[in-house]
Amino acid sequence: MTQVPNRSYRLRELAAELGLNHRGDDSARISGVGTLSRAGPNDASFLANPAYRDELEHTRAAVVVMTAKAAESYAGNALISANPYADWARLIEHLSPPPPHQPGIHASAVVADTAGIAESASIGPQASIGAGARIGERVRIGPGCVIDDEVVIGDDSLVVARVYIGGRARLGQRVIVHPGVVIGADGFGLAMDRGQWRKVPQVGSVRIGDDCEIGANTTIDRGAIDDTVLDDDVRIDNQVQIAHNVTIGAHTAIAGCVGIAGSTRIGRYCMIAGASGIGGHLDICDSVIITAMSTVLDSIDQPGEYGSGIPARPHGRWKRLLVRLGQLDDWARRLKRIEQLNKNNGSAKP
Amino acid sequence: MTQVPNRSYRLRELAAELGLNHRGDDSARISGVGTLSRAGPNDASFLANPAYRDELEHTRAAVVVMTAKAAESYAGNALISANPYADWARLIEHLSPPPPHQPGIHASAVVADTAGIAESASIGPQASIGAGARIGERVRIGPGCVIDDEVVIGDDSLVVARVYIGGRARLGQRVIVHPGVVIGADGFGLAMDRGQWRKVPQVGSVRIGDDCEIGANTTIDRGAIDDTVLDDDVRIDNQVQIAHNVTIGAHTAIAGCVGIAGSTRIGRYCMIAGASGIGGHLDICDSVIITAMSTVLDSIDQPGEYGSGIPARPHGRWKRLLVRLGQLDDWARRLKRIEQLNKNNGSAKP
Amino acid sequence: MTQVPNRSYRLRELAAELGLNHRGDDSARISGVGTLSRAGPNDASFLANPAYRDELEHTRAAVVVMTAKAAESYAGNALISANPYADWARLIEHLSPPPPHQPGIHASAVVADTAGIAESASIGPQASIGAGARIGERVRIGPGCVIDDEVVIGDDSLVVARVYIGGRARLGQRVIVHPGVVIGADGFGLAMDRGQWRKVPQVGSVRIGDDCEIGANTTIDRGAIDDTVLDDDVRIDNQVQIAHNVTIGAHTAIAGCVGIAGSTRIGRYCMIAGASGIGGHLDICDSVIITAMSTVLDSIDQPGEYGSGIPARPHGRWKRLLVRLGQLDDWARRLKRIEQLNKNNGSAKP
């Protein structure tokens, strides 16, 4: 259904390449992928979220990646997986590998004499690479990117297009940076000086570990003095703002539109849901989950789930609730008065 | 007042061209536009919001677009309109048409051999157009844009500057895309696999209907498998984040800084106010209004207004309210105890 | 510790150049800067935030900028300052001056014939400068910037990289614009016209005063008719959205991810903390502080601190609080009933 180009497999071949057990017609032909509801007869599909279980009944998919347990009640072709979503990812990688990489520097790119570009790297149209920058093996720098002076980008990284990286940032290996990202701009450092703001020069840098992914239009500021740091395998969605001197532990994932203020430390294996805001100078321990649109203003030293997002209600009910909130002070007094009265009445009784 | 260049009209000409009735001196000369308070004697102005009614008294405008009813109590020149704000838009289009379009590909642009560019289209400086991309008639691609492989842009669309469009996105006709927009970047698809994140390849695309407008630095991700879809006449403000597989119905307008999580469906004629967050996998029906800074975490199946934004208060009052919120559990117990006591007292009475 | 290149001072020289008193070994050599905890033996450091006071004890810094009072209990070398954070900024400027400026237009830049570029200005690789634009003395326009027609940029301004400025915006002197910023895109002006949105042409401009700083990926829309205005010394962090016809008074600072809706006026010396949203057509007076993640929906006419951000709690407690909020209407009735009962009981008593 979805056009995923250029490879076709028999089910038995695909199962072998992925190292998965399969069930059903092992000569079934698979050349694309689709959701359960839209897959065509040559598409693979998957079932990871039980909410979509009913769609199994009507799917036309050539094969479905699913758990052994789910397969018990499914009559069609199946690839059996202990982790269907992860194996689904591997399956797509097989069916739809990225286009082959063409090393070389596009004629329209501007590369400083002192920049070091690996032979196997590619620099796209209209890109510019600053003095002393180092671009690793098989790195792809896409069209319109600006890689500023002394930036280092590790092997096999992909900088898609129209990205800015400056502040002498160092990126690890296999990092993916999506369009519009800004890494290494100045942090927001200001000193009030006789009625005027004075800019505090930002001289720290940014360090990004291996296997990180940075979503479109996200910003990661350079440190004020020390560095801003993302450890390995940190995954960041679109339009996230990471201020100077934030540090983020390995394997933490941050959804879209989150803002993290300066000098805050986030632990490992945290998950921060969309549009949350995290204050500055906080310490968030490992394995913390922040629910959507929450405001984190205190450090957290216990793993677990935290939040303060309020689900929307019909306008009339919400307006009334706001009125109630305004009355709480009054209620506190009334509650106390009643209790006092009851106590007096009680004690007044014979 | 405001410099709107290059055309001048008599009131009677302008009225005829716009198909509106007019009142007053039909030879009044109009060569610019201004707000009621700042319009000069050759400027047109308008009254759409009754809040600005008092400014009519002192305006120097050559003519004011207004309803017949408003004109009853206005002695100056008027253009009579059933929809003053829409006719005001048409008036500006007449007085200040966009600069004439110069077809052609700028010498500094990089265009792949297999891209198809209409003769009447223009490609600006430093733009790059990928393999197999198709650019329609009279399309304007501004400076620094990156149009990636196989993207399709419909006739009469305007891609202002420094835009990225990829993921094989297809845009309809008369679409306007403002600077910094990223369309078709990978969605945030991750599977946890033995303690590491594994990227789920994003192979869906983006479809954008006719007459859509996308504000500066907004991001619209490509679908994971199926497409992310904006129907016709969807209007999106700046810094909005639209995740993979979101679908938005025709004529829906979304204000700045809104985030919409993956796979959510928004209906037609919805209006979503600024900085609201909408969770994933929800279904929002037609004609829903979400008020500013609300968090939508449940599907909505009834048209109407919804919200959860809390208006700011003076710090002391807000701090006290937060304390009250922390006491609600305690209050629940106290209320119950009082009611129990009253009941016992009541039943204990003779 | 942190590599701040290329100048080295004796303490007495640095004190003289900064006009500060010093204490201790006046021949101490200073060639870099560092935080108290990480400074090496040739680094300067500073103490502005009392929270870091304990770190004084173990610092290896060659000298610490601090108040006279703080110095009383410090045995090491000190630079005495009435405003340590501001003097720290000046110290870094001395130790780490920006790289010398190379005037000239890069061969890959595209400059319209009618643009006026000062001899002392520099235009970077892949930049494009539109017709009638004026670029002042010593201005630096970095790689990939698009300066559209008739934009004016004042002397000594720095436009870092990949910035778009259009809408005939006028920037003052010494303005800093960080990567990804979009200034002068169309505001979000729409009129509903027989079931379709009609775009209201945006013909106002943007005026930005002297000494402003605009953070990465921030957007500032052009006015609808009149201008959007930032007065002098306005400081804006990353990913802030400023809608059409907003005006911001001098010396106001706005942290990351804030959104300000159309036609709102913000006073002088305001501070708006991260991720707050401010509604449209409001009037916020001078010296107002808005705390993080607040929603401002009403005008404010008294200086002071305002907010509505709710600190996150453990999930279980937060869920229970949400339940309590849903019960408030019921509680109101119960409270009233109890009071009525008490009153009746009271009056029923002999």
pLDDT band at residue B350 using 50, 70 and 90 as cut-offs: very low
Say yes or no: B221 contacts chain A, CB-CB below 8 A. yes
Domain membership flag for residue B127: no
Say yes or no: B82 contacts chain C, CB-CB below 8 A. no
Strands A206-208 and A213-214: unpaired
Say yes or no: C2 contacts chain A, CB-CB below 8 A. yes
- pLDDT at position C295: 98
Chain A residues with beta carbon closer than 8 angstroms to that of B146 = 126, 142-144, 161-162, 179
Interface contact flag, C144 B126, Cβ < 8 Å: yes
Chain B residues with beta carbon closer than 8 angstroms to that of C241 = 237-239, 256-257
Q: Are residues B298 and B211 in the same domain?
A: yes
Strands C116-117 and C128-129: unpaired
Q: How far does CA A157 lie from the centroid of its chain? A: 17
- Tell me which amino acid residue C118 is: A
Chain A residues with beta carbon closer than 8 angstroms to that of B342 = 342
Chain B residues with beta carbon closer than 8 angstroms to that of A334 = none
Domain membership flag for residue A2: no
Mean local confidence (pLDDT), B157-161: 98
* C-alpha–C-alpha distance, residues A65 and C339, integer Å: 63
pLDDT in tens, B9-61: 999 999 999 999 999 999 999 999 999 999 999 999 999 988 889 999 999 99
pLDDT band at residue C99 using 50, 70 and 90 as cut-offs: confident
Q: Are residues A292 and A179 in the same domain?
A: yes
pLDDT in tens, C7-61: 789 999 999 999 999 999 999 999 999 999 999 999 999 999 888 899 999 999 9
A-chain residue closest to B275, CA distance = A275
Reading across the β-sheet that carries B43-46, which strands appear in turn?
Answer: B21-23, B78-80, B63-66, B43-46, B32-33
* C-alpha–C-alpha distance, residues C136 and C157, integer Å: 8
Option in B51, B274, B313 nearest C259 (CB): B274
Counting the structural domains of chain C, the total is 3
Share of chain A above pLDDT 70, in %: 97
Token pair for residue B3? 């410099």
- pLDDT at position B96: 83
Q: Are residues C254 and C335 in the same domain?
A: no
- pLDDT at position B191: 98
Option in A226, A289, A341 nearest C35 (CB): A226
C-chain residue closest to A281, CA distance = C51
CATH number at residue A34: 3.40.1390.10
- pLDDT at position A340: 87
DSSP for residue A2: B
Find residues 28-57 of chain A whose CB sits inside 8 Å of chain B: 33-35, 38, 51
Domain membership flag for residue C154: no
Say yes or no: A103 contacts chain B, CB-CB below 8 A. no
* C-alpha–C-alpha distance, residues C8 and A126, integer Å: 39
- pLDDT at position A88: 97
Q: Are residues B69 and B202 in the same domain?
A: no
Q: Are residues B276 and B337 in the same domain?
A: no
Angle, helix C315-348 to helix B315-348, in steps of 10 degrees: 50
Whether B3 has a pLDDT exceeding 60, the answer reads no
CATH number at residue C239: 2.160.10.10
Burial A211-223 (b: 16+ CB within 10 A, else e): bbbbbbbbbbbbb
Domain membership flag for residue A1: no
Q: Are residues B237 and B265 in the same domain?
A: yes
Chosen domain end from A53, A76, A95? A95
Structural domain boundaries, residue C64: 9-95
pLDDT band at residue C349 using 50, 70 and 90 as cut-offs: very low
Q: Are residues A261 and A337 in the same domain?
A: no
Interface contact flag, C339 A338, Cβ < 8 Å: yes
Reading across the β-sheet that carries A283-284, which strands appear in turn?
Answer: A116-117, A134-135, A152-153, A170-171, A206-208, A228-230, A247-248, A265-266, A283-284
Option in B110, B162, B186 nearest A125 (CB): B110
Say yes or no: A75 contacts chain B, CB-CB below 8 A. no
Say yes or no: C185 contacts chain B, CB-CB below 8 A. yes
Say yes or no: B253 contacts chain A, CB-CB below 8 A. no
Chosen domain end from A95, A123, A151? A95
Q: Nearest-CA distance from C82 to chain B in Å? A: 29
- pLDDT at position C346: 64
Domain membership flag for residue B32: yes
Say yes or no: A101 contacts chain B, CB-CB below 8 A. no
Domain membership flag for residue C143: no
Domain membership flag for residue C34: yes
Q: Are residues C211 and C241 in the same domain?
A: yes
Token pair for residue B245? 């597989």
How long, in residues, is chain B? 350
- pLDDT at position C6: 58
Find residues 125-164 of chain B whose CB sits inside 8 Å of chain C: 125-126, 142-144, 160-162
Catalytic residues of A: 244
Q: Are residues B186 and B284 in the same domain?
A: yes
In whole angstroms, how far apart are CA C174 and each of C78, C143, C158, C183?
32, 19, 7, 16
Q: Are residues B49 and B76 in the same domain?
A: yes
Interface contact flag, C126 A110, Cβ < 8 Å: yes
- pLDDT at position A179: 98
- pLDDT at position A6: 58
pLDDT in tens, B206-265: 999 999 999 999 999 999 999 999 999 999 999 999 999 999 999 999 999 999 999 999
Interface contact flag, C341 B342, Cβ < 8 Å: yes
Q: Are residues A64 and A162 in the same domain?
A: no
pTM: 0.96
Query: How many helices (H) and strands (E) would you count in chain C?
Result: 4, 40
Would you give per-residue pLDDT tens digits along chain A (350 residues)? 344 455 789 999 999 999 999 999 999 999 999 999 999 999 999 999 888 899 999 999 999 999 999 999 999 999 999 999 999 999 999 988 887 889 999 999 999 999 999 999 999 999 999 999 999 999 999 999 999 999 999 999 999 999 999 999 999 999 999 999 999 999 999 999 999 999 999 999 999 999 999 999 999 999 999 999 999 999 999 999 999 999 999 999 999 999 999 999 999 999 999 999 999 999 999 999 999 999 999 999 999 999 999 999 999 999 999 999 999 989 889 989 988 888 887 654 44
Chosen domain end from B72, B95, B118? B95
Domain membership flag for residue A3: no
Q: Are residues B175 and B78 in the same domain?
A: no
